[in-house]
Structure 1
Amino acid sequence: MEGISLENRYRWKRTVGELKDRKYIPNLWAFDDDRSKTGWDVKRPDSHYGQSFGIGFYEYFLLCELLGAKALPVLSIGTACQFRSTQLVTSDSEEFDEYVQDALDLIEFANGPVNSKWGALRAKMGHPESFGLDMISVGNEQWESQYVDLYKRHQIFEKAIHEKYPDMRILGTAGPFLDSPITEDAWNFYNSEFKANPNTCYAVDEHYYVSPQWMYDHVDHYDDYPRDIAVFAGEYAAHTTDRQNNMESALAEAALLTGIEKNADVVKLASYAPLFNRVGHSQWKPDMIWFDDEKVYLTPNYYVQMLFANHVGDETIPMNGQEKELRKDGIYVSLSRTQQGETILKVANVNDSDYTLPLTDGADVPVEAIGHAWILEGTGEIPEGMPEITDVRETNVQIIGNVTVLAQSFMVLRF
């Protein structure tokens, strides 16, 4: 999004309108991030990475609409990628005002009436109706530093957006790491701002690519978070030693998600990353969905995301500390209930043996029911250069006071 340079940044206005008018640019990932090399524009050997914008902001809005998803655009705050460059426009410059105006114009493109400049373009492209955009994110992996006045930039964006669109929810960035002083500083800023202006930030975007063990150790990470400002777990994934899409990483993510689901009152949004991997043409893994020119390969990490997304309750069921005791046995659990009274149990068993999980109701009476289960298991089969082969099977389950959770598996059980 930021680009390897300001010139190379993603500019949404160049991704809409006629396809023939959309200018190709090399993607940030086409450039080498080895800081020992001279020049910011040293290309990788696999420098085919690029953006033709055949899919632009209009098409992404359409995709969200078709999927029943909400769009969350992430906008540049006038800096190049802070990892790789100190290029920026100063926050008191006319150039910076253009970045702020881009945000306002994007909202108009998404929601504005057809007689507005950008609403008219949306209508001309085939969608006169508003896309109903209701949130926007300011910055991506920036942090306050001697070069970047992140907090001032956030304040300027927030003021300009809310003056024109008072109901728009704004998300802020907290840097590239979770366990870091810069993240703590960012949270201190947003929490301090919230006291004077509750609309300053709807949610803070946290990123973490961590080991499976970190996820197991931090399932309760959000238990003690303040509840004033929400969390967007905007990029996360478990990275094994060899960075594989396998059951080892998928089970760790499932475990973490049981804790995130328990804390759904503060973690309002979560997004695994990255999403796609072109087989044989990538410099990063793991990724959720792999593909080549013939097939799509769904990873165990994808199936974890799918199972959590497809089985969402309307309220969580408190377990009164039982979940913490189960974690000591390598069992990670979340419980929720639908408005219709159906119970949804999600459980990851990270052990090498099956586990018998007792089930009782609120009166401590053993549950007796016929449930329906979706079970994710690995095969241990990992073709060279590919993700582990896995699948989800469905089955009915007879519950008589307990349920068996298979070794090294993740299960969703509804009853």
Structure 2
Amino acid sequence: MRAASPERGLRGRLTVPGDKSVSHRALMFGALAVGTTEITGLLEGEDVLRTAAAMRALGAEVERVGEGHWRVAGRGVGGLVEPADVLDMGNSGTAARLICGLLAGHPIFAVLTGDASLRKRPMKRVTEPLSATGARFSGRSGGRLPLAVEGAADPMPLDYVVPVPSAQVKSAVLLAGLCARGITRVEEREATRDHTENMLRHFGAVVRVEADGNRRVIELEGQPELRAAPVVVPADPSSAAFPLVAALLVPGSEVTVQGVGLNPLRTGLFTTLREMGADFSVSGERVEGGEAVGDLTARFSALRGVDVPGDRAPSMIDEYPVLAVAAAYARGVSRFRGLAELRVKESDRLAATVALLAANGVRAEVEGDDLIIARDGAPVPGGGVVETHMDHRIAMSALVMGLASERPVAVDDTGFIDTSFPGFVSMMNGMAGEGVIAPAEELA
């Protein structure tokens, strides 16, 4: 598909899909709770549907009641059953890694697999610490999927220091700790998104968090009886990033995204956009389901380069591709520091982001784990074809670039965008005018 500049500014008041991180966890904790959990606003993209299917295969009763409305009748902590077939996690690294933590604490056997992209992604970052619980993992080189898991009959609690900031690793260790006797302790040197800690408390677990600057120590009391609790899933800030950045780049635009999650450990992009001079505001702040939410409005803005510190990366790790697109339209030098984690996402996102920019006439450099984009305010030429490597965020970022570049920007594949953002193309066309994003032959 290709995206071309619209004849007018982007306008609209939107609701984007539910937060993917919260949606995965709502289904998992519902499966571990006693009673029936009501979930509203669930993201119904392919990644989350894979988690729903996995929880069903592990013995929970999972039912779709209506759009975004699901019910999960749980098995209780330690009550998951052995699945009859392989658990296919599709493209979801979050689901695969967190489910490794769930399985590690249960004395059952299971096999995890995924699509071609997920089978390339490293799993040792979770399987190595989880092995200390007594669980056994056997996979391809590098611990890659397909992965056979034999959970521990009497799992040991872990005391683990996360070597590289990762909410997935932290969450996997905590999920394994639910089934262990005693205290599971996780230390992270840089704070990462804390949806797991929030949801553990929401379902009745005892969780203590000690914070010292960016360093955090989380302690979980094992073998709690989790109780079913309603979950309202906020709109995903990572998804909201695309229409909001597009509004900043297309002249005459004003776009509001409603009910976006404003968890402080997820809002690094919004902080950075303000530093770049974005006309960006928040209204209607409130708390829903234990998470802060608000309505975000972005208007066309003249952006400037920015130096983003590495300790902000965990709070915006998924947003760097679209932030790089924003930097391509800014005047001055932008330097994004500490992006090692981008190398092990759905693709090598650091390399893919550089290639996205280069294909459209924007030069970027990588120094160590830093991305540097220097611009003089000249228009972005566009006209390139972006290889997405089956990475939905690279695809959506490229389409956003095409809305403001001199020539249309094409992507080689968009079929997997629905894994995280169902209806993305129709929503963008609704703001910009039908056919602005369309099959490539229609814009040739």
TM (norm. structure 2) is 0.29
> Which of the two has higher C-alpha Rg?
1
- Give the structure with the higher percent helix: 2
TM (norm. structure 1) is 0.30
